[in-house]
Structure 1
């Protein structure tokens, strides 16, 4: 690839980094969080805000598309550095996108079922919606694993500052540890300090690397 083409690819990658963070956050705070009923009747909350719930499902589908597209552009940018490792990371991130689609499908099935009878599956609805964050653990582990590898390849490529690449490796490693802790010891994972450690560094990294790639881009230095 020429410097011009990889510069364009890197800028698209930067935008996708930002979108992969912003879109799920918007979905959680402005859509999905509205369906946690204090009275415990999540089904009625969904039916009374059906359009918002449908928008949340669409948001999850869009998130999956963004995840896959980001994986594709990362692989496109980094395959010349280490093709096999980049392809492995691409495969892991594709699995993350697939699992995100599975969550979206689950939410859509919930909507179809409760429109027939909102009371019969109330417990299942409460589990699938109320435990949404817990259900993102498995895609989260794939997310962390794939991005640790991509960050390592960034480190070897010198496309971004070394300190930023190392910060990425550390941040995504913390995501893996945090999601694994949620799986093995939910109480420990519920502690505020643990939640912040598992989520804040990666959010900072995604914003910084996204802006870096979108604004500055990367170039291949001639040997």
Structure 2
């Protein structure tokens, strides 16, 4: 009975994990696109004027990215439930690494503080434009560093989870292997960005494999989790 119950839980959490994989991409990329749409290009003062003009939209973009960190916890736990029967020790280690990634959501505090510096009149009056820009630049540097540090945690956790998927029927072996490669590649991108931040733009292509892997993984987990649940219901 306990085996049947555990199998049903794995099916349910596989569907949850698949959905959250896709949701995280929507949340993160949606936040990035909104931020880029609002700020655009130009001088610090020009970008600040645009942020003030569309402040609710900019705040919504920051919230979307914060929610991506929150839902990372749900994804990590769901994957742990699905894969702990394969190797509980590795699954638990992967869970801890992905939770380490989720703590990157604390940088939302820095992002909202930087936003306050740009938009609250009292800061501009007390600090002056030069000092205010320096503090905002410092906050953005902290955000950049914390993002890449979070990606290092992500890389280890994601690689381990995909390693476990190699031993399950949820994903094709080629996708699991590709997911391991894509996850390891994000480690290279993150560490290189921390060491040589000037290479940031050139390294953007390194994110493409993991986006492909996670989109396909999300779809397959939702579909195969549902199919397994239906098969179990018919068997009963």
TM > 0.5: yes
TM class by smaller structure: 0.7 to 0.9
1:106-163: CA deviation from partner (whole Å, max 9, x where unpaired):
1122233441323342222134348855552111111111100110011123431111
Q: Say yes or no: does 1:144 pair with 2:155.
A: yes
Residues 91 and 186 from structure 1, CA distance in 2 versus in 1: closer, same or farther, beyond 3 angstroms?
Answer: same
Pick the aligned partner of 2:44 from 40, 43, 56: 40
Structure with greater helix percent: 2
Partners of 2:180 and 2:132 in 1: CA distance: 42
Segments of 5+ residues of structure 1 without an aligned counterpart are none
8 Å contact 1:110–1:125 — kept in the other structure? Answer: yes
| SS of equivalent residue, structure 1 residue 95 | helix
What is the 5 A alignment of 1:40-189? Answer: 40-41=44-45, 42-99=47-104, 101-114=105-118, 115=120, 116-118=122-124, 119=129, 120-129=131-140, 133=144, 135-189=146-200
User: Does structure 2 conserve the Cα–Cα contact (< 8 Å) formed by 1:172 and 1:202?
Assistant: yes
Distance 1:94 1:195 in 2: 24
**Matched residues in 2 for 1:143 and 1:123: separation?**
30
TM-score (norm 1): 0.86
Query: What's the offset of the Cα at 1:33?
Result: 5.1
Q: Which runs of 5+ in 2 are unaligned?
A: none
CA 1:129/1:37 → structure 2, altered by over 3 Å: closer, same or farther? farther
Q: Answer whether contact 1:11 1:215 (CA < 8 A) is retained.
A: yes
RMSD: 2.5
Q: Does 1 or 2 have the higher relative contact order (CA < 8 Å, sep 6+)?
A: 1
